[in-house]
Structure 1
Amino acid sequence: MNSFNDIHQWLSQWQPAIAANFERRLVVVEGECEWQQHVAEVFYRYFNADKRQCFLWGEDQTFLTGTTKNYRHQLGCEYDLVIFSDPLFHPDAFSALSGTLKAGGILLWLKPEVQSPGIFMQRVMTKFIQDAHVIHLTSATLPIVSINTYVQHEFSVSIADGCLTQEQHSAVNAICHVAKGHRNRPLILTADRGRGKSSALALACIRLITSETQVSAININISAPSPQATTVFFQQLRKHLPDGRYSPHKFCYRQHTISFIAVDVLLATSPSCNLLLIDEAAGIPVHLLLQLSMNYNRIVFTSTQHGYEGAGRGFAIKFRKMLKVIAPKFQSFHLNQPIRWRDNDPLEQLVFDTFLFDSSLEVDTLDQKVAHYKVSQISQAMLAKDEKLLEQVFAVLVSAHYKTTPSDLKLLLDNQKVRIFIAIAPESQTVIAVALVIEEGKATAEEVAAVKDNERQLKDQFTPQYLLRHLGVNEAFEYRYWRVNRIAVIESQQQQGVGGELLTFIEQQANNENVDCLTTSFAANSSIVAFWQASSYVVVNLGISKDQASGEHAALMLKPLTQKSIFLADQLVVQFYRKLSFYLMTSFKQLPADLVLQLLLMAKEKHLPSIETSDLHIVHAYLAQQMQFMQSAFSLQQWLINKLSHLDEDTYICLDKNTLFTSSEQALNFIVAKILQQQLDEEIAWQYSLTGKKQIQQQLRKVLRNIIER
């Protein structure tokens, strides 16, 4: 084993050169644990001697304590050394922490000894071995480190506002325009890590609060997934305005104030400000970002294109679509040139290549509708051998799901329970759709007992565990399920039936393998529910609480394939609709009316609560003003649920006839809110511009008569 001094001298010979080259490197330490810890301590002592910042992620080391395992909290921080000591190799943490390193920094990976690595780890190790910039360190020898001299662009602070590049200056201009220009024109600022995005936010704030023409006080709020994510932002404020006053998460300059405020506090209190900045927006649930967009008319969102969220590109695609509804004139700006390290930095290129961050494929340019495509099942071995196919499959998933991460690449390649289905255009060999299916069910008696007693959460057993714990299906583990975990169609080919064809093919393969039931679970909205219902999936449950990420209730849908699963599905659907009327008045009181209607629209009569003759008498008595609303509410609700489940186009068109509503859709939403959800008269009057209880009852009777008359 090389001595402490040997390794220290070896490190000191080449590390200054990579710092001068303005680049970063990965060092892979192989060998026994004692040797790895010895090397890690040398690296730590080397950097710490000059008070340079070090961070450990993973297993504790004796020489470095007090570390955290939450890598997300390190975003926005900058380090000279990151020691990655994780036997399981968390790919999200690895890629994210690589982005916290400054030029001259080292990512030191203490490589675990793995007897039989999976496809994913084989890929990682192959990529690291093939890359000439990766330094492999063993106890046998200290390698010669090759460093090619790179002529780095010298950044100059002569550019206005303290910006280091013209591109960063343009970003500052765009941010300031949000504060001073027209209202309701938010900005989405995206960049890969190290491009000066957070600094641009700070420099824009500095311009705003130091402007000679600015007389009145400016109040700027900034939010992020965690306070730590704004570390660089506040550092820049303190650097450029040393006479400002800084306290934790707050900076004051003259009469102006810049404060960090958590997202939940922003939404709960809506503090006024001249400008709201949301840094690392991809780490915040989209529905919360949209609420902020409606609450504030001067707002800037920033997102890392590649980082812990894995797919900033996917985030940007999805979020732009949603934001356009609220703010059609929103602006976008992307920073390309790196500032914290050189162009084509070896570590950045390695991470991008290994985790497929940079897969820009034909799917991005395939604008024409594909007339013919082939649907097939592919194996993980095929993906391992065909890099282009792997890139395309992963790119399609990224484009459709903004939370796709490097861990999803690991799932795709390693999980033996995963089935992969694709639709591909034969002429261009372009993948246009992907579905990931996970095999579930058939656990041991001991495992089932542990689940029942809440002692254990089984991996890859979402559906049976859900049925057992939430719906009381004791025999849930006696069935075989295929759960569609992801299904994605590239944007240019959507609404063409490709997704439906993919589901049909999956069903055929499931039947061939005697699978009992196809399932899926997702954050429910009317369009997604309609997509699955079109393929004959039925809703069996809707989560009581909203999903934290989407702000929507999670739906569980099934498609039974065998006789015994058909019987089970019928029982579950009946149970769901029996509960629905109660939950619409409680947990689902604010459920969007279009989703309520979609849930009811394809319900079969056998699944719905029966309507008694007395209910019909009460409905007619209410319409004739012979009974009050609350006396009639239960019968009205049962009758309306059945009516809405058979809603046809002729009935729908006439709902607003002789009413104060501007459309049939608005009239329909009104009766759902009043009868099914029992919303307060005050809320309904405000929402539909009605004068109060009397007018609400008048309009209610008119809409219901329109339904009966059809």
Structure 2
Amino acid sequence: MEKIGEKSPLSASLCLHQRQMIRQGIRRILVISGDSRWCQQQALILAQLLPGDWPWIGEAGSAQTKIIPTYAAKTLLGQEKMHAIFDATTAFDVEALAVLAGTLRAGSWLLLLVPKWSHWPMLIDQDSRRWCGQEQAIATPHFIYHFQRQLLADNEVAFWHQGHCPILPLTESRPPRRGIDGMPTSKQQAILDRLMRAESGVWVLMAARGRGKSTLASMLVTQWPGTCWVTARSKSATQILYQQVTKKAVFWAPDALLVFCRQHDVKQVDWLLIDEAAALPVPLLSALLAYFPRILLITTVQGYEGTGQGFLLKFCARLKHCQYLTLTDPIRWAANDPLERVLDQALLLNNPSKSKTGDEKREQGSLKIIRIAQNEAWQKSHLLPDFYGLLSNAHYRTTPLDLRRLMDAPGMHFAAMLADETLVAAIWLVDEGGLADTLARDIWAGRRRPRGNLVAQSLSAHSGQWLAPILRSRRISRIAVMDKWRRRGIALRMVLAEKQTAQRLDFLSVSFGYTDELSAFWHACGFKLVRIGSHKEASSGCYTAMAILPLNTAAKTLCQSLQQQWVRDRIWLPQWQCYPLPINKIEDRSLNDEDWRELTGFAYAFRPLEASRAALQRLLINSLLPLPALRQYLQQQLPIAEIIIHCHLNGRKALTSCWRQEVQQALLNLDKSRHDIWQKWVME
């Protein structure tokens, strides 16, 4: 490593490195470690030395620089930048870091600002509040140690520690990168030839960032003799493609395109290209496909894309005659790019478990289940990349956020099934429940929404079972089996093993995108379906289903109440009509105690109308009062805007208040003493 001393100007050394990086077509990361203000000052100095775009992502920065908050990092997808700054001195959002790195052109420096190196692992990470399941941020030593090791292990990472001279990598001999001459690579040309011959169908172009997906799409638009339309969630998200085809193709916002297709004939359009297709809701994608003879879906299948894996695993698998295309060699930078390499290693973006399938012919008796403690064993174990890689391959929601949760969030439990030392299956569970009575009531009433407790809170907030968060439970967050080991009862065996270790709990739970196959699996494991969500997930296109496995009498009572309520409410909830009933049908339109509690919670607390819909429908049947705002919405199904005009209100908030007041009046009119009892219970 070459040290830059006082007699060797920093600017000259950086410029020398950048010229070489441009020739070699690579990008590098410079880690600046120290006090937050010092790190930011050095970043500003470097940004002034080297001309470039210099987007700055972080929670704080200099007044001279426009800061992009980490939550807005995905607005950069589809763009190209020269040089960037990522401030991780107080909060380390690794997904935003990966997105930012994916925008950088060859020759770029990524400046990563981090706390003092020796202190960093034990410092509170403010980003952890998003994923740790607690109200307070936590320190994340396991992940930070892991990340530091990956940086130190790569000899092309540059460092600048406060109080020391910067240390830049020695200039290594790499072959000069072949210039980009606008001509397609052999792989791009082969794919382009196939698309140019296409008569109809859906084509899915998948690759990691920088592989030339958008460039290939622009070549198709340019060479196609007919009409091509382009859509994406925003023009900024498809900047590379849009800039290259703006004179030839018409760009549409997805929602506007669907409206246009429903109102006009679009048969003259030969191709619809959907850039970053994984970012669009599945129902919208499905609707658009029906209107065009040829569709090219372009998506980045990499963990930090959020729904990218869901797009591949759920949506594309359902398409008939879908043809898959892939690009593997980088175009925007050279192979073995230092920045891509170190982030792939640190964030486990390359899914290493694909290459390890085990001996599928081995007898079941040779398999063993081991429990994995969430401590430094993760750091030293070869299981970490295999475990996380298997989950990434199998689950559409696995992102680097899950890697952080896996390594440092409290209340996590892990087990793996091994054949000899080869990973065959993995399961990940999360503790939930055990909340105080007062907090549980506040969750039910809509007054509080603490972090974590996904199923326990949902059964209270949406299904009205306020006791659910009080009971102690454990949710199965992920379960996956290697492809060649499936259909052997391995997943069932792992779930039953978890049941045996959870005897001090009240129930196990699971939340999943509903399909008949998954529902049948969880039923075989002993779980009872207790809730179906009201909206389809953007990532899977499925309704969210929740099921529980009761382990004692209290949980069995909860399960019975949930299933009875589901069956009783079914007639008022259209999205539930196509799902099989968990128990025999119940014909009852009277108001029982659970209805009174639900209605009083809506009237005097903050229960949402969607959660109270069935009870409100029964109230309208049993009440003789006019209740115009409620009847217009629930019985006459008038649009919200029309009801607001009819009732002389000034907006949606006023309408909600009107609904609550009407319920108060109806309950008082039906039975004042019963009303008073439940009002007191709700207000306590």
TM-score in terms of structure 2 length:
0.76
State yes or no: 1:316 paired with 2:312: yes
Deviations 1:658-689 (A, max 9, x none): xxxxxxxxxxxxxxxxxxxxxxxxxxxxxxxx
The answer to whether the 8 Å contact 1:488/1:499 transfers is yes
Query: Structure 1 stretch 525-534 or stretch 265-274: which is displaced more?
Result: 265-274
Q: Hey, what's the Cα distance between the residues in 1 that align with 2:445 and 2:143?
A: 34
Partner in structure 1 of residue 519 of structure 2: 529
Partner in structure 1 of residue 187 of structure 2: 167
Q: Hey, what's the Cα distance between the residues in 2 that align with 1:268 and 1:498?
A: 46
Q: CA deviation at 1:310?
A: 6.1
Partner in structure 1 of residue 129 of structure 2: none
Calculate the aligned-residue CA RMSD, in Å: 2.8
Matches within 5 A, 1:106-145: 106-113=109-116, 114=120, 116=122, 117-139=140-162, 140-145=164-169
State yes or no: 1:517 paired with 2:507: yes
State yes or no: 1:283 paired with 2:272: no
Partner in structure 2 of residue 623 of structure 1: none
Partner in structure 2 of residue 662 of structure 1: none
Deviations 1:319-355 (A, max 9, x none): 44222xx22xx32221122121111111111111111
State the SS of the aligned residue for 1:395: helix
The answer to whether the 8 Å contact 1:314/1:399 transfers is no
Matches within 5 A, 1:209-220: 214=225, 218-220=226-228
Matches within 5 A, 1:367-516: 368=360, 370-372=362-364, 373-381=367-375, 384-426=378-420, 429-444=421-436, 447-448=439-440, 451-452=443-444, 454-511=446-503, 514-516=504-506
Q: Hey, what's the Cα distance between the residues in 2 that align with 1:610 and 1:231?
A: 56
Partner in structure 2 of residue 242 of structure 1: none
State yes or no: 1:11 paired with 2:19: no
- The one-letter code sitting in structure 1 at the alignment partner of 2:66 is T
Matches within 5 A, 1:579-598: 579-583=569-573, 586-588=574-576, 593=578, 596=579
Q: CA deviation at 1:135?
A: 0.7
Q: Hey, what's the Cα distance between the residues in 1 that align with 2:438 and 2:13?
A: 55
Going from structure 1 to structure 2, the CA distance change for 1:34 and 1:199 (only over 3 Å counts) comes to same
State the SS of the aligned residue for 1:476: coil
Going from structure 1 to structure 2, the CA distance change for 1:383 and 1:16 (only over 3 Å counts) comes to same
Q: CA deviation at 1:578?
A: 0.9
Going from structure 1 to structure 2, the CA distance change for 1:547 and 1:196 (only over 3 Å counts) comes to closer
Partner in structure 1 of residue 675 of structure 2: none
- The one-letter code sitting in structure 2 at the alignment partner of 1:423 is M
Partner in structure 1 of residue 250 of structure 2: 259
Going from structure 1 to structure 2, the CA distance change for 1:382 and 1:85 (only over 3 Å counts) comes to closer
Q: Hey, what's the Cα distance between the residues in 2 that align with 1:3 and 1:448?
A: 62
- The one-letter code sitting in structure 1 at the alignment partner of 2:512 is F
Q: CA deviation at 1:393?
A: 1.0
Deviations 1:514-550 (A, max 9, x none): 0001111122122211111112211222122332333
- Provide the aligned length of Structure 1 versus Structure 2: 555
Q: Hey, what's the Cα distance between the residues in 2 that align with 1:375 and 1:150?
A: 46
Partner in structure 2 of residue 268 of structure 1: 259
Deviations 1:465-509 (A, max 9, x none): 222212222333321010111122223232321111111011101
Q: CA deviation at 1:91?
A: 1.2
State the SS of the aligned residue for 1:308: helix
The answer to whether the 8 Å contact 2:368/2:419 transfers is yes
Q: CA deviation at 1:226?
A: 2.7
Q: Hey, what's the Cα distance between the residues in 1 that align with 2:362 and 2:234?
A: 44
State the SS of the aligned residue for 1:440: strand
Q: Hey, what's the Cα distance between the residues in 2 that align with 1:85 and 1:382?
A: 26
Q: CA deviation at 1:234?
A: 2.2
Partner in structure 1 of residue 200 of structure 2: 183
The answer to whether the 8 Å contact 2:303/2:392 transfers is no
Going from structure 1 to structure 2, the CA distance change for 1:384 and 1:37 (only over 3 Å counts) comes to same
State the SS of the aligned residue for 1:422: strand
* Gap regions ≥5 residues in structure 1: 209-213, 238-250, 612-710
State yes or no: 1:346 paired with 2:359: no
Q: CA deviation at 1:433?
A: 1.9
Going from structure 1 to structure 2, the CA distance change for 1:115 and 1:121 (only over 3 Å counts) comes to closer
Partner in structure 2 of residue 643 of structure 1: none
State yes or no: 1:103 paired with 2:106: yes
Q: CA deviation at 1:144?
A: 4.2
State yes or no: 1:293 paired with 2:289: yes
Going from structure 1 to structure 2, the CA distance change for 1:187 and 1:545 (only over 3 Å counts) comes to closer
- The one-letter code sitting in structure 2 at the alignment partner of 1:567 is T
Partner in structure 2 of residue 655 of structure 1: none
Partner in structure 1 of residue 644 of structure 2: none
The answer to whether the 8 Å contact 1:560/1:566 transfers is yes
Q: CA deviation at 1:45?
A: 1.6
Going from structure 1 to structure 2, the CA distance change for 1:55 and 1:524 (only over 3 Å counts) comes to same
- The one-letter code sitting in structure 2 at the alignment partner of 1:298 is R
State the SS of the aligned residue for 1:102: coil
Q: Hey, what's the Cα distance between the residues in 2 that align with 1:37 and 1:4?
A: 24
State the SS of the aligned residue for 1:333: strand
Deviations 1:296-336 (A, max 9, x none): 3301112223363168567435444222xx22xx3222112
Q: CA deviation at 1:370?
A: 5.0
Going from structure 1 to structure 2, the CA distance change for 1:402 and 1:473 (only over 3 Å counts) comes to closer
Q: CA deviation at 1:388?
A: 2.9
Q: Hey, what's the Cα distance between the residues in 1 that align with 2:7 and 2:540?
A: 51
State yes or no: 1:236 paired with 2:244: yes
Partner in structure 2 of residue 148 of structure 1: 172
Matches within 5 A, 1:503-582: 503-511=495-503, 514-582=504-572
Q: Hey, what's the Cα distance between the residues in 2 that align with 1:233 and 1:492?
A: 39
* Aligned equivalent of 2:213, options 179, 197, 212: 197
Going from structure 1 to structure 2, the CA distance change for 1:579 and 1:541 (only over 3 Å counts) comes to same
Q: Which has the larger radius of gyration?
A: 1
Q: Hey, what's the Cα distance between the residues in 2 that align with 1:493 and 1:295?
A: 40
Deviations 1:51-103 (A, max 9, x none): x2221111242221263541111011111111101322111111121111111
Partner in structure 2 of residue 63 of structure 1: 64
Q: CA deviation at 1:277?
A: 0.7
Q: CA deviation at 1:383?
A: 5.3
Partner in structure 1 of residue 638 of structure 2: none
- The one-letter code sitting in structure 1 at the alignment partner of 2:195 is I
Q: Hey, what's the Cα distance between the residues in 1 that align with 2:377 and 2:235?
A: 40
The answer to whether the 8 Å contact 2:30/2:160 transfers is yes
The answer to whether the 8 Å contact 1:363/1:432 transfers is no
State the SS of the aligned residue for 1:149: coil
Q: CA deviation at 1:419?
A: 0.7
Q: Hey, what's the Cα distance between the residues in 2 that align with 1:156 and 1:543?
A: 49
Going from structure 1 to structure 2, the CA distance change for 1:156 and 1:577 (only over 3 Å counts) comes to closer
Going from structure 1 to structure 2, the CA distance change for 1:346 and 1:405 (only over 3 Å counts) comes to same
Partner in structure 2 of residue 83 of structure 1: 85
Going from structure 1 to structure 2, the CA distance change for 1:375 and 1:387 (only over 3 Å counts) comes to closer
Deviations 1:344-374 (A, max 9, x none): 1111111111111223336665584553122
Query: Structure 1 stretch 266-275 or stretch 476-485: which is displaced more?
Result: 266-275
State the SS of the aligned residue for 1:529: helix
Partner in structure 2 of residue 206 of structure 1: 222
Deviations 1:538-590 (A, max 9, x none): 1222122332333322112111101111112111211111111332xx344xx
* Aligned equivalent of 2:230, options 199, 222, 244: 222
Going from structure 1 to structure 2, the CA distance change for 1:291 and 1:83 (only over 3 Å counts) comes to same
State yes or no: 1:333 paired with 2:325: yes
The answer to whether the 8 Å contact 2:229/2:250 transfers is yes
